[in-house]
Amino acid sequence: MPKLSSVSSQRKAIVLYSSCSGGVHSARREIAIRPTHEATRPETSTELASSTRKLASFTEELFGHLPRRDQRRWAHACLEGLLTAPGRKSVHGMAAVLPAHGGSCAATAQSLHRFINCSPWRWDLVYERLIRWTERRVNPRAWTVGTVLLPKRGLCSVGVHRYPDPAGRRSVNAQLGLGMFLSTGTLDIPVDWRLHLHERWCDDHALRRRARIPETVRHRPPWAHIVELAGALAARTGLAPAPVVVELPEHGDTGLLAAGLSRQGLDFMIAVPGSLAVLPVHPGSTATPLPASRLVTPGGSGTRTITGVSALGRARSVQVVSGPVRLAGAGGRGGRHGYRLIAEARGDAARPPRVWLTNLVHRGPAELLDLVGPSASTVRRLGKFGLLDFEGRSYPGWHHHMALVSAAYAYHRLGRGAPG
């Protein structure tokens, strides 16, 4: 990834956060975040001294498996830098607030860069420990998947491709990341990431070598990454699996995603466009596929309106399809599964309802809608913990950076005030 010092301060990072979708036609909300130079409030020397033991314990829990002491030391330094450096979290910015570690600031920055980009450590083991650490502190109501576009200059950063810029009428060079969050309804902690690689990155041997992309990594569509993220979390969690809440990018495939999650025995809520073709399944229903929006039109056949207060204290008005639906055109891959459509009224007759497809056919609509709606401020806060500040170009480096950012954010939200 190119050094961010070469990137204009006017560049925008476009974050697409899954559970805060806008209209059903776009099936997502677009959140534009400028590369902030607003500082995460630096801790005073007294605060830093009082938190040193907690951060050291946290680092040992997540990175204690690293075989070398110097690796564990630089993991702690990276977390400390992400938590305390003001402004952009470049390695030089982090080094400026860290102890000299026996050398100059430049030497510290070089060591941080090597740890993130060159040191051979397994980020999947960090995520496994982060999940268990987080689950001891919160009880997730949902596993929420979000997609994020990270604009980059040039085409050398791993995974960079031309993507439509939702905030304008142009394309941008960007990386597409998919993250898994443990969500409580008021708090969302990222615990795993995947980097989407366009075919050119997987088919060009020179690009693969330069970006150090493992031989086992191949091009996969976003829905397949989401199924993999959910499966990995199901294998790592120490709790009962929570429903997966997800909105696909525009190039997603609802049928394949639903079938993939169903095969793993996972419950889900998938935001879908109103144009999604479905087959209503009730006596006298037509065999002709209908758009989902037609089935959840207020006052339409097969719907009823429910108004009430959810378990999280939210007043909600919803239209619910009274009966199962099946996906049309699934080609045998998802058509045999029975689902349910739920639409949430938006309080404005000019705006179509938000439409969700779920296999949780026996749960009430208010309970289901409690699963969606984590705060969009999560992604803005991640930006303040270095989400946009990866300095490097390699595949392992990107994953190391995302694991460190996720760990720093989790510690900031859940660890600093914890006893002991």
Domain boundaries, the chain: 250-370
pLDDT score for 287: 72
pLDDT, tens only, 369-381: 778 765 556 777 8
Residue type, 281: V
Closest CA to 385 of 249, 225, 232, 189: 189
> Which has the minimum average pLDDT: 181-185, 333-337, 411-415?
333-337
Task: Give the model confidence (pLDDT) of 150-196 as tens digits.
Answer: 888 888 899 999 988 766 678 888 999 999 999 988 899 999 999 99
Lowest mean pLDDT across 41-50, 59-68, 172-181, 191-200: 41-50
Q: Tokens 């008021």 — which residue? A: 186
364 CA to centre of own chain: 26
pTM: 0.83
Q: What is the pLDDT of residues 74-104, one digit of tens each?
A: 999 999 999 999 999 999 999 999 876 667 8
- Least confident interval from 115-124, 178-187, 273-282, 330-339: 330-339
Looking at per-residue pLDDT, the higher value among 8 and 404 belongs to 404
Q: Are 376 and 368 in contact (CB under 8 A)?
A: no
Q: Nearest-CA neighbor of 279 among 259, 302, 261, 245?
A: 302
Pairing of β 277-280 and β 325-327: antiparallel
Of 113-127, 257-271, 312-326, 352-366, the one with minimum mean pLDDT is: 312-326
Report the pLDDT value the prediction gives residue 172, as an integer from 0 to 100.
87
Of the given ranges (159-168, 228-237, 249-258, 316-325), which has the lowest mean pLDDT? 316-325
pLDDT (0 to 100) of residue 366:
72
Tell me what the pLDDT averaged over the chain comes to: 79
363 vs 190, higher pLDDT: 190
